Amino acid sequence: MSELRGSVAVVTGAGRGLGRAIAEELASGGARVVVNYSRSRGPAEELVEKLKSEGMEAVAIQADVSEAGQAARLISESLEAFGGIDILVNNAGINIDKTMKKLSVEEWDRVVQVDLNSCYYTVKAALPHFIEKSSGKIINISSFVGQMGNFGQANYAAAKAGIIGFTKTAALELARYNITVNAVCPGFIETDMFAGVPENVVKEKILPRIPLGRVGKPEEVARAVRYLIVDGDYITGQTLNINGGIYM
């Protein structure tokens, strides 16, 4: 897809953070954007208004993508809103960080449900449409934690590693329909998810591990997503690391 203009992109969990930056990046290239949100209606609608005021096309659609039925409704309402879908970015994610000794089964299940199972639910629902038109770009947001593990994040690491396996398998199965599927693995990025980490931990434990010596910006990840979509016609089943070198 050499041109974003006129295409339709669904971005899950796009009310804030990385999802918001991805929605803005794709909209600025001319894509019509579905800003999915689960509970944060205010920020999602505010983003849609902002994009519209700048001459871009966007719509906010509520759906908790960790529920298969709601994920399917997100896809059908997106199709209704714009008449098609060209790009699906599975970005929604949560973390509940505890060592396994303290982690409950419910907390394990919740993170796997939101971070991993949601990707399958949206892809499953969008597949008939992508197959029918013999094209589609799917980007799944994983994490460096899924590649290298991280203390206190067994549930998150497992879900994010699962996304990589899912991405490769989906890429294999869908290549024949001209659908590409790739994963993006951000390192530590300045968003609300990262804001919970105490400052002294950032300074003493995190920054020294990052060769580039700083955390990343949401826009830096968003541009990588745009690259995979716009220049990625011959890229599939890959994992693109945007992580300052923390994992090589």
Distance of CA 64 to CAs 51, 56, 101, Å? 23, 25, 29
Binding residue (CB under 6 A) for ligand NAD from 82, 121, 166, 188: 188
Q: Is 13 in the site for ligand NAD (CB under 6 A)?
A: yes
Least distance (Å) between residue 225 CB and ligand NAD: 11
Q: Edge-to-edge strand order for the sheet containing 87-90?
A: 58-62, 32-37, 8-11, 87-90, 136-141, 179-186, 239-242
What is the smallest separation between the CB atom of 247 and ligand NAD, expressed in angstroms? 11
The catalytic residue among 37, 120, 121, 156 is 156
What distance in Å separates the CA atoms of residue 174 and residue 165, rounded to the nearest whole number?
14
Report helix, strand or coil for 182: strand
Total residues binding ligand NAD (CB under 6 A): 28
- In the complex, least distance from residue 174 CB atom to ligand NAD, rounded to whole angstroms: 21
Candidates 27-35, 98-106, 175-183, 188-196; binding stretch for ligand NAD (CB under 6 A):
188-196
Please list, in sequence order, all residues whose beta carbon lies within 8 angstroms of the beta carbon of residue 114, skipping any fewer than 6 positions away: 65, 66, 92, 93, 94, 159
Q: Residue 136 CB, nearest distance to ligand NAD (Å)?
A: 20
Query: H helices then E strands: how many in the chain?
Result: 10, 7
Q: Applying CB under 6 A, does 18 fall inside the site for ligand NAD?
A: yes
Looking only at Cα atoms, what is the longest distance across the chain?
Answer: 52
194 binding ligand NAD? (CB under 6 A): yes
Tokens of 38: 């689960």
Question: Is 156 a catalytic site residue?
Answer: yes
Instruction: Using alpha carbons, select from 69, 71, 9, 3 the residue that is nearest to residue 34.
Output: 9
Q: Which of residues 71-130 bind ligand NAD (CB under 6 A)?
A: 91-94, 114
Is residue 182 near ligand NAD by the rule CB under 6 A?
no
- Footprint on residues 131-150 left by ligand NAD (CB under 6 A): 141, 143
Shortest distance, position 143 Cβ to ligand NAD, whole Å: 4
Task: Give CA–CA dist 9/89, Å, rounded.
Answer: 7
Q: Give residues in contact with ligand NAD (CB under 6 A).
A: 12-13, 15-19, 36-38, 40, 64-66, 91-94, 114, 141, 143, 186, 188-189, 191-194
